[in-house]
Amino acid sequence: MSDKDLVTITPDGVDIVLDRNMFRAGSSGFVPCIDTEKAKRQLHDVFDSGKYKITSRVCVDKGLYGVRFWLHGV
């Protein structure tokens, strides 16, 4: 793992560090947050590249409000 594989998003002003190596096409993740629109924009900036396409939805997961995202191969 290198530093370039670690990315930080901050939808609510709190750092959420994601390791891009942990995600593959077909995988999903959940980001608990209040500012879901900002989280979706930041997730799309991180993952929507030549390698992946991303789908995201606002939802409640295990009682937490946030954004669920899915990665798809290009």
Host domain of residue 14 = 3-73
Three-state DSSP at 34 gives: coil
Contact between residue 35 and residue 12 where contact means Cβ atoms under 8 Å apart: yes
In the chain, how many domains are there? 1
Confidence (pLDDT) at 74: 78
Confidence (pLDDT) at 20: 86
Q: Is the dihedral of CA 31, 41, 15, 7 positive or negative?
A: positive
Mean pLDDT of 22-48: 94
Is residue 2 pLDDT above 90, yes or no?
A: no
Mean pLDDT of 13-34: 94
What are the structure tokens assigned to 15, written together? 């750092």
